[in-house]
Amino acid sequence: MIREITVLSGKGGTGKTTITAALASLAKNTVFTDCDVDAADLHLLLQPDIYERHAFESGTKAIIDTVSCNGCGICEVACRFDAISKLKGDTYHVNAFKCEGCRLCERICPVDAITSVPSMNNFWYVSNTRFGKLVHAHMGPGEENSGKLVSVVRKKAKEIAQQENSDIIINDGPPGIGCPVIASLTGVGRVIMVIEPTKSGLHDASRLVELTKKFGIKTFAIINKSDLHSGISDLIETELFKLNIDLLGKIPFDDDFIKAMISGKTIVEYAPDSRSAILLNQFWKRIMMD
């Protein structure tokens, strides 16, 4: 049975990726993914050697052929995404950033002037790293369907884990609680939530807990940079207790994390005897005993 764990936070910049990378140094026989497909950073620390590249079709975008368009405007009225507007002259055009690829305009155009073309601006990769296999992605700017791309990445990781008899999959998750976050937590066994001791961090973590509870996923918490505000850190600890969330522990602010990042290493590699590395080692043991 493969154990799948996703690292999330609600709020961005709390340390999801640095902590995922540290766990990569500690986990044995594990496959990793970067599910933060629109601002992926894990590869900067894991330095993958890519051996498979795939294009991901994120849906379609409509295109209007201005030669055959008769300017009737039926498409503009029907489009609920305000993606179609009149150009100078009498023809219409599609704003690709607004188009959600529903193809309604294509179906109702009386002169067949509209076609849908697949958007091929997204890629996903399978790589070797010094810690094991990594499945990661690059999403083109402004692309839709990041949730679907996350699902593709996770599916591939599962396949690899089965082929290689891996014990664990660790997913580095995106910030927020929306579409890609939902895609990165459905069906996983555990969530590790990285919280920073700020009111925003607490607010965002509360919304994330609401989400993981909805999905019935057991959630662990780590308070990162805990000494930046010990009062709020204590407040978060109390809230976690109330919510019945298991707090693995607190990691004080440590600029070794940044130095490690600059040298392209995990904290466990860069400063194995540091307090942060020792704490993370303890946390990982706790998760594995669970």
Partner 1 sequence: MKNLKIAIASGKGGTGKTTIAVNLYHTLVKQNKQNILLVDCDVEEPNDALFFSDAEVIGETSITHLVPEINIEKCTFCRKCVEYCEYNAITVIPPVKYAEVATDLCHSCGACLYACDFDAITEKPFEIGKMIRYQTQNGAGLTEGRLNVGLAFQTPVIRHVKKVTKNHDGIIIYDAPPGTSCSVVSTIADVDFVILGTEPTPFGLHDLKLAVEVVRNLEKSFGIVINKAHLGDDKIYKYLEEKEIPLLVEIPFQREIAEKYAESQILSNVVDGYEDYYLQMIDNMFKLLN
- Residues near partner 1 (CB under 8 A) are 10-14, 17, 36, 38-39, 41, 44, 59-60, 78, 80-81, 97-98, 100-104, 107-108, 139, 141-144, 146-147, 174-182, 196-201, 203-204, 207, 210-211, 214, 228-229, 232, 255, 258, 261-262, 264
Q: How many CB atoms lie within 10 A of CB 114?
A: 22
Closest approach of Cβ 137 to partner 1, in Å?
A: 12
Question: Of 160 and 223, which CB lies nearer to partner 1 in the complex structure?
Answer: 223
Closest approach of Cβ 140 to partner 1, in Å?
A: 9
Question: Of 44 and 288, which CB lies nearer to partner 1 in the complex structure?
Answer: 44
Cα(239)–Cα(206) distance, rounded to whole angstroms? 9
Question: Of 167 and 256, which CB lies nearer to partner 1 in the complex structure?
Answer: 256
Cα(229)–Cα(179) distance, rounded to whole angstroms? 31
**Cβ neighbours of residue 230 under 8 Å, at least 6 residues apart?**
197
Cα(58)–Cα(140) distance, rounded to whole angstroms? 10
Question: Of 3 and 229, which CB lies nearer to partner 1 in the complex structure?
Answer: 229
Closest approach of Cβ 263 to partner 1, in Å?
A: 9
Closest approach of Cβ 113 to partner 1, in Å?
A: 17
Cα angle at 197 between 243 and 242, to 5 degrees?
15
**Cβ neighbours of residue 226 under 8 Å, at least 6 residues apart?**
197, 233, 250, 251, 252, 253
